[in-house]
Every structure is written in structure tokens, then in C-alpha cells.
Amino acid sequence: MTLHRAEKVIIITEKLISKGVCDIIEACGATGYTIVPAGGKGNRNIRPTSSRASVIDDFANVKIEVIVNGKEIAEKIMNEVADQFFQNYPGITYVEDVEILRPKKF
């Protein structure tokens, strides 16, 4: 089995701005992304992971993962997301090296 190197960008932020983040991801040329609900503790607040009702659903956290081919696209996504949102909204972003099976998909 041959595996290929690729980059995975991870963005953890508020659900409220997830649409804006995904627009950036697509504009940068990525072909898809995965969004999962997230929770934990950051410098702003503790966000519960539980399913307990939170009155404002939009302020829950999500983790957005996107796999791209090449460091440039990865950095471009991270820069644009940070520029556009992270001054006013909570969020972190980091990149990981991953190995993928079918490079054509990305």
C-alpha cells in the first residue's frame, strides 16, 4: 500500500462563523472538509461537550478539518481565517502532516 503525504488543517471555532470559514476553505481550493462538534476549555470560556441544552446553539464550538495537497494552500487557509475572524471570534488553527491513500481526492 502506498501512502501519500498531505497536510491537514484544523480550525476550532464557534459554530456561528463556521460558514464563513468553510467559504474561505473552498475559495482556497480545497475540495472538501469535515465538521464535528467540539467542546473544551480555552482562554475565553469552558464550552461544554455534553448535549445539555444551551440556549444559544450558535455559540457552541466546532472542529473543522480539511486535508489539502501542499503546505501553501494550508498556510493560505490558516492565514485568511486568522485575518478575517480571530481578532473578534475565539478560535485556534494548526496544521498536521498526514498520510492519505488516494491523492486524487484532494
Partner 1 sequence: MDFLIDFLMRLLVQFQSPTLGFLIGGMLLAALGSKLQIPSAIYQFVVFMLLMKIGIQGGMEIRDANLTDMFLPAIISVLIGVVIVLAGILFFSWLPGIRKEDGIATAGLFGAVSASTLAAAIVVLEEETITFEAWVPALYPFMDIPALILAVVLANIYQKKKKEGGNAKVNVWGIVKDSLQGSALSALILGLALGFVTQPERIFESFYDPLFRGFLSILLLIMGMEAYTRLSELRSVAHWYAIYAFFAPILHGLMAFGLGYVAHELVGFSPGGVILLAILASSNSDISGPPTLRGGIPTANPSAYIGASTSVGTPVAIAICIPLYIALGQIVFNL
Nearest CA-CA partner of 91 in 8, 11, 10, 9: 11
DSSP letters spanning 53-99: --S-GGGSEEEEEEEESSHHHHHHHHHHHHHHHTTTS-EEEEEEEEE
Q: Among all chains, which residue has been given the C-alpha cell 493560505?
A: 76
52 near partner 1, judged by CB under 8 A: yes
Nearer Cβ to partner 1 (86/106): 86
Q: How far is the CB of 80 from partner 1 (least distance, A)?
A: 15
Nearer Cβ to partner 1 (2/88): 88
Nearer Cβ to partner 1 (16/38): 16
Name the residues that contact partner 1, by CB under 8 A.
16, 45, 50-59, 88-89
